[in-house]
Amino acid sequence: MNIKELLKAKKCNCGMEHSCDIKEIIIESGGISKIHGLLTEYNSIVLVADKNTYAVCGNDVSKQLGEKLESTHIFECDGFLIPNEKAIEELNGKLTEKTDLIIGIGSGVIQDLCKYVSFNLQMPYFIVATAPSMDGYASKGAAMIIGNIKVTYNAHVPKAIIADTAILKDAPMDMIKSGYGDVLGKFSCLNDWKLSSVINNEFLCEYVYDLTYEMLERTKDLGEQLLARNEEAIKTLMEALVGVGIAMAYVGNSRPASGSEHHLSHFFEIVGILKNEPYFMHGTDVAYSAVYTQKLREELLKIDVPSNSKRLSREAWEADIRKIYLDAAEGVIELQNKIKMYDKQDINICREKWTEIKSVLSEAPSVEDMKKYLESVELDITEFEKMYGEKKINDAIWYAKDLKDRYSVLWLHYFLNAR
Ligand SMILES: [Zn+2]
Ligand SMILES: [Zn+2]
C-alpha cells in the first residue's frame, strides 16, 4: 500500500467521491529534514509542543523553520495534558494576526488542540508525530474535553503529517502499544459498522471497509517486532494509523475507525476525569475494551431466537445516567432525547434478520484470538480488570452507548439483554 496514493481523490462504487485534504504525508527515516521544503507558502509559524514532545525533536524542527518561526509554545503539564477550555485559551493567546501556520509536535492531545484551534481560525496546521500512539493524525475529528465531557468536533485535517520513523521507534513503549491497540480495535468497529448496515441500513462503503481491514491485516501480527522497536514494523504501524485516519476522511466521519470498543474507552476516560480515577492510554483502553465487546458478540451468538426483553423505565435509566455521569449527565440525557436511539430499537427487525446478524457477529476474531494479539505486545487483560473492576466494566457495557449517536453491538446487547 502506498500511503501517498490515498491522497488522490477517487470516484467510488458507493456513489461518493472519496478525498482527503492532506497535501503531504512523510513517513520515513529522517522525515524531519523534509519540513523545510514544505514551508514555501508560510511566513509566520507558531510551534506548539509540550515539555516532553519538545524534548524529543523541538530543536530539530525549530531549525527547519529558521526565520519563519514566530514563537514557540510549550505546554507545562504534570501527567496528561487535557484538551479542555483552559488549554484552548492558552494556545489562542499565543497566536497573532501575523500567524499563518501552526505546527504541532506531539501525538494525541497536542494534535487535537492544534486541530481544534486552527480550524476555528481557518488556519492550516502541520503535525510532527512523536509517537505511533493513535489514529487521529489524519482525521478531521478533534477529540476535546469540553464541560467535562469528551466531545469530538468535526474540524479539519492537517496540511502535512511528518512522521520520522527514526524518532517514532524510540517513543515510550506504552505509546507504541497504544497505537497497536488502536489498530486492533478495528476488528470490533468494522464489525459494528457491518452490523449497523444490516440492522439499520446504515451506509457502508465496501472500499473503505476493505481498505481499513487491509491496514489491520498488515499490522495485526507485528506485536513482537513492535516490542523490539523494529523500524520497519513501526513504519507499518504508523501507516495504518494514518491510513485509518484517511479512511475516516473518505466517509466524512469516524465510522471506519470507532465503534463499541471506542465507546467503552471513552466511558473509562470520561468517568476517570469526572471522578478523578485512573484510566489507560487511549489505544490500550481500546484494545482491552475490544476483548469485552467481543465477549458481547459471543454472548449474542448463543441466542437462538431474540425475544423482547425487559426495558428499564425512563426514570430508572435517568437515575443511572446521573449516578454515573455526574456533571456530564445532562449532556448525555439531552443527546439521547434528541437522537431517540432507544425508540428505534426494533425486535421484529432483529428476528427477521437474526441469521444475517449472527453471520456478521461471527466474523470478528474470538475473545481468545484477541487476547493473543494483546499478549503479543505484553498487554494482559487482567490488568484492565484490576484497574476498573467488574462494576465499572459493567456500567460501561450498559451505559457507554449513551455517550454517542452511533449504533454498535452495545445497543444490540442492551436491547436483547436489558436488565
Ligand atoms: Zn466508497
Ligand atoms: Zn482510537
pLDDT tens per residue, range 59-117:
999 999 999 999 999 998 777 788 999 999 999 999 999 999 999 999 889 999 999 99
Report d(CA 373, CA 119) in Å as an integer. Answer: 37
CA of residue 410 to ligand 2 center, whole Å? 17
Which residue type does 48 have? Answer: V
Residue 96: what pLDDT?
Answer: 96
Separation of CA 18 and ligand 1 centre (Å): 6
- Ligand approaching nearest to the C-alpha of 286: 2
Residues with CB under 5 A from ligand 2 (ion): 182
Other C-beta atoms closer than 10 Å to the C-beta of 376 total: 18
pTM for this model (two decimals) = 0.94
Measured CA to CA, the distance from residue 186 to residue 134 in angstroms comes to: 12
Residues 15, 10: Cα–Cα separation, whole Å: 10
Cα(260)–Cα(382) distance, integer angstroms? 20
C-alpha cell at 313: 423505565
Spatial distance between the Cα atoms of 295 and 298, rounded to a whole number of angstroms: 5
- In whole angstroms, how far apart are CA 127 and each of 61, 169, 396? 11, 17, 32
Q: Which amino acid is at 153?
A: Y
What distance in angstroms lies between residue 179's CA and the mean position of ligand 2's atoms?
8
- Say which ligand is closest to the CA of 135: 2
CA of 182 to the centre of ligand 2 (A): 5
Task: List pLDDT tens digits, range 259-312.
Answer: 999 999 999 998 998 899 999 999 999 999 999 999 999 999 999 999 876 678
Q: Can you list the alpha helix ranges (DSSP code H) found in 252-378?
A: 260-275, 282-300, 314-325, 329-339, 341-344, 347-352, 354-361, 367-376
**Residue 181 grid coordinates:** 491497540
Tens-digit pLDDT profile for residues 355-373: 999 999 999 999 999 999 9
Ligand 1 center to residue 206 CA distance, Å?
6
Distance 63 CA to ligand 2 centre (A): 32
Q: Please state the φ and ψ torsions of residue 27, each to the nearest 5 degrees.
A: -125, 95
Length of the chain: 419
Report how far ligand 2's centroid is from the alpha carbon of 136 (Å).
Answer: 7
Under the banding of pLDDT at 50, 70 and 90, the label for residue 140 is confident
φ, ψ for residue 103, nearest 5 deg: -115, 120
Pairing type for strands 101-106 and 45-50 reads parallel
- Give distance in angstroms: CA of 317 to centre of ligand 2: 28
Partner residues linked to 151 by β-bridges: 144
From ligand 2's centre to the CA of 95, what distance in Å?
29
Query: Is residue 36 classed exposed, middle or buried when 0-12, 13-18 and 19+ CB atoms within 10 A define those classes?
Result: middle
